[in-house]
Amino acid sequence: MNATSNPSSDHQIFDSLRLELRRGCLIVAVLAQLRVEHYGYTLRKALAEQGLAIEESTLYPLLRRLEKAARAAAKAAYAPYSKFFVGAAVLSGSGRIYSGCNVENASYGLCQCAERTALFTAVASGERSIRAVAIFTPTAEASGPCGACRQALSEFGPEALVISTCNSSRRLESTVAALLPASFGLRNLRKARGAKRRRR
Ligand code: THU
In tens, the pLDDT along 24-38 reads: 777 766 666 665 555
- What's the CA-to-centroid distance between 143 and ligand 1, angstroms? 9
Query: What is the per-residue pLDDT for 153?
Result: 98
Judge contact between 86 and 99, C-beta under 8 A.
no
- Ligand 1 nearest-atom number relative to CA 85: 14
Is domain 55-199 given the CATH code 3.20.20.80 in the classification?
no
Give residue 198's Cα distance to chain centre.
44
Q: What percent of the chain has pLDDT over 90?
A: 65
Asked if residue 127 has pLDDT above 60, the reply is: yes
Each residue's pLDDT tens digit, 36-81 = 555 656 666 666 666 665 677 788 899 999 999 999 999 999 999 9
How far apart are the C-alpha atoms of 186 and 184, rounded to whole Å? 7
- Measured from the CB, is residue 84 less than 6 Å from ligand 1? yes
Tell which one of 78, 81, 86 to mutate to probe ligand 1, the residue whose CB is within 8 A of the most ligand atoms.
86
By CB atoms closer than 10 A (0-12, 13-18, 19+), residue 136 is buried
Given the residues 37, 49, 104, 115, the one annotated as active site: 115
The mean per-residue pLDDT over the stretch 5-32 comes to 72
Q: Among 74, 64, 75, which Cα is nearest to 97's?
A: 64
- Measured from the CB, is residue 114 less than 6 Å from ligand 1? yes
Orientation of helix 56-74 relative to helix 114-124, angle to 10°: 120
Is 115 catalytic? The answer is yes
- Measured from the CB, is residue 104 less than 6 Å from ligand 1? yes
Highest mean predicted confidence (pLDDT) among 4-8, 18-22, 123-127: 123-127
Element (H, E) at 156: helix 147-156
